[in-house]
């Protein structure tokens, strides 16, 4: 969403007063910064050191590739998965070109929606790396169109990769992670796992599901050495919007939507990867990537009953 911080604060203040919630711009700004400055106390921080084995899905492009390169620079061994064989090969080439050929890197062509494939992937990782301490469930796809415009088959396709891919990854790798002195699971949600704009019913459903699943899993694992983080990236410059499936949408409107998202996706994936890795090392249960994600999170918390209208008003083509 292309909502700037000052614009969000201006929107919050009058809506808050109308709702009788007593949040002016100053109070909203203070609450926003308080949220950002919170730190969990008394919990160990995971250190990514040479020899740490990191598993990354969706590593053939975008945030997944940037995470692989960032972790390689830290000396981590890598098990990289993607459904695109060429994409994952390009990631490895970039790791080698960066002078990190000495780390152990294995590649795996995996459809995360396929439970059997994920089970085989976990077995391969255990066989070739002996262990794994970091699991990043990053693989994801997008689908544009209102609920009435998208088919149930496409809806299931999005849920299969974005949500079930996360569930499959956690289920398959948890036995390995439990055997480690310290481990971490990172599940990629989205800014659309914080708010749900029109035209994103399927995608938002999958990302809200990741958020809820991650929160429950974190509670279940709180007395173990395994920590869980859920990531909400905002406008990161990847190919996910460009490669999205589109339902039965008017072609002109589809083009307008694609152009809008191209303008909104501004953060380099390398910057997003650095934020995510820093969040892991700080043991942050929620990692917000970008000003748009932070502001929409603040809006959703301050005005849960009104944020839907704000987001809908900012969505291109909403009246068509």
Catalytic residues: 203
Read off φ and ψ for residue 56, nearest 5 degrees. -130, 120
Report DSSP letters for the chain, one per residue: ----HHHHHHHHHHHHHHTT----HHHHHHHHHHHHH----S-PPP---TT-EEEEESTTSHHHHHHHHHHHHTT-EEEEEES-HHHHHHHHHHHHHTT-TTS-EEEEE--TT-HHHHHHHHHHHHHHHS--SEEEE-----EEB-TTTS-HHHHHHHIIIIIHHHHHHHHHHHHHHHTSSSEEEEEE--GGGT---TTBHHHHHHHHHHHHHHHHHHHHTTTSSEEEEEEEE-SB--STTTT-EE-S--HHHHHHHHHHHHHH--B-HHHHHHHHHHHHHTT-SEEEESHHHHHHHHHHHH-TTTHHHHHHHHSTTTT-
Pairing status of strand 77-82 against strand 105-109:
parallel
Report DSSP letters for 164-193, one per residue: HHHHHHHHHHHHHHHTSSSEEEEEE--GGG
Cα separation of 66 and 54, whole Å?
13
Nearest-Å Rg of the Cα atoms of the chain is 20
Based on the number of CB atoms within 10 Å of its own CB, is 107 exposed (0-12), middle (13-18) or buried (19 or more)? middle
């Amino acid at each position: 969403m292309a909502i700037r911080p000052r614009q969000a604060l201006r929107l919050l203040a009058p809506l808050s007063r109308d709702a009788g919630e007593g949040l002016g711009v100053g109070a909203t700004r203070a609450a926003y910064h308080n949220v950002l400055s919170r730190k969990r106390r008394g919990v160990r921080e995971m250190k990514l050191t040479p020899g740490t084995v990191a598993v990354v899905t969706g590593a053939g492009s975008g945030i997944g590739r940037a995470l692989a390169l960032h972790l390689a620079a830290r000396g981590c061994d890598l098990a990289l998965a993607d459904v695109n064989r060429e994409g994952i090969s390009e990631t490895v080439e970039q790791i080698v070109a960066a002078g990190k050929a000495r780390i152990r890197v294995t590649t795996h062509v995996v459809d995360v929606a396929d439970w059997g494939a994920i089970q085989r992937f976990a077995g391969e990782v255990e066989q070739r790396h002996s262990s794994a301490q970091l699991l990043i469930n990053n693989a994801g796809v997008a689908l544009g169109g209102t609920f009435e415009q998208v088919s149930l088959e496409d809806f299931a396709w999005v849920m299969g990769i974005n949500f079930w891919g996360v569930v499959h990854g956690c289920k398959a790798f948890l036995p390995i992670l439990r055997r480690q002195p310290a481990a971490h699971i990172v599940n990629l949600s989205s800014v659309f796992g914080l708010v749900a704009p029109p035209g994103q019913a399927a995608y938002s459903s999958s990302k809200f599901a990741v958020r809820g699943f991650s929160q429950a899993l974190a509670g279940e694992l709180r007395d173990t050495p395994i920590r869980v983080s859920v990531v909400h990236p905002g406008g990161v410059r990847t190919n996910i919007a460009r490669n999205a499936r589109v339902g039965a949408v008017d072609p002109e409107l589809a083009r307008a939507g694609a152009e809008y998202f191209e303008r909104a996706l501004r953060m380099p994936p390398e910057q997003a990867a650095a934020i995510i890795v820093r969040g892991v090392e700080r043991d942050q249960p929620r990692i917000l990537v970008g000003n748009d994600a932070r502001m929409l999170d603040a809006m959703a918390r301050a005005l849960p009953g009104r944020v839907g209208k704000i987001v809908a008003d900012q969505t291109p083509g909403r009246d068509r």
